[in-house]
Structure 1
Amino acid sequence: MKKFIVMCAAFAIAGCADEAPEPAATEEMAVEEVAAEPAIANTMEVTNEDGETTTLVRYDDGTYTFGDATGTYAERDDGMTCYLGDEEGSEESCWADWVEGEDGTMTSTAEDGQVVTLANSGA
């Protein structure tokens, strides 16, 4: 019986030594995942036919911001780039690739004929 008690004690001690302490709940809650910002593909100042200028930021992941609006964009094989806003009911808007004029300005024309002037932004 003494051997049995000594063996039980030895197993109990060995079992305690192998157990790793559980992390406290506060340690687990302190770890936060931070989402990485997508890389910026380009930033342009877009001026419409009325002279209003808005900043367009296109990201490498296919998303964009245009002023306060956000959405996704995709480049088509026919030289058009199409934008679709995140807002419910948004319609896709497709624009010709930027064309550099003789005066150094760049323009883009929408499928509906609207023309905008583009300038690289220092942002």
Structure 2
Amino acid sequence: MASDKELASLVTADPGLPRPNPTQSYWQHIPHPLANTRSESLPSERDYAIIGSGITGCSVAKTLLEHHPTATVTVLEARTLCSGATGRNGGQMAANAGEEYMHLAEVHGPAKLQGLRF
């Protein structure tokens, strides 16, 4: 297990720049009309600056504007909207969900799996 010092160095390490030419998901091959939305220049002042336009970044921007309609909010994105992890890893499909459920039911009992959804 990593020490507190090792964990602190990992958390504070410079993440570096985004990778050049990342993998593009097939659903991004025809970009959404808003994907390349950009401002001509960055504002010198903002109430809020949000790094990343994924699910979390866009949700935070939406919530801020709903609760503070006069706030100035800027979302910063290295590439196109939702081109990071949100756009690449939005969901997984597995053909063995039924088999897995049966295995879990045997191990834990069907009562414990009442609320589980695949």
TM-score tier (shorter)? under 0.3
Relative contact order (C-alpha < 8 Å, sep 6+): which is higher? 2
TM-score of the superposed pair, with normalisation by structure 1:
0.18
- Which has a greater percent of strand? 1
- Which has a greater percent of helix? 2
Q: Give 1 or 2 for the bigger CA radius of gyration.
A: 1
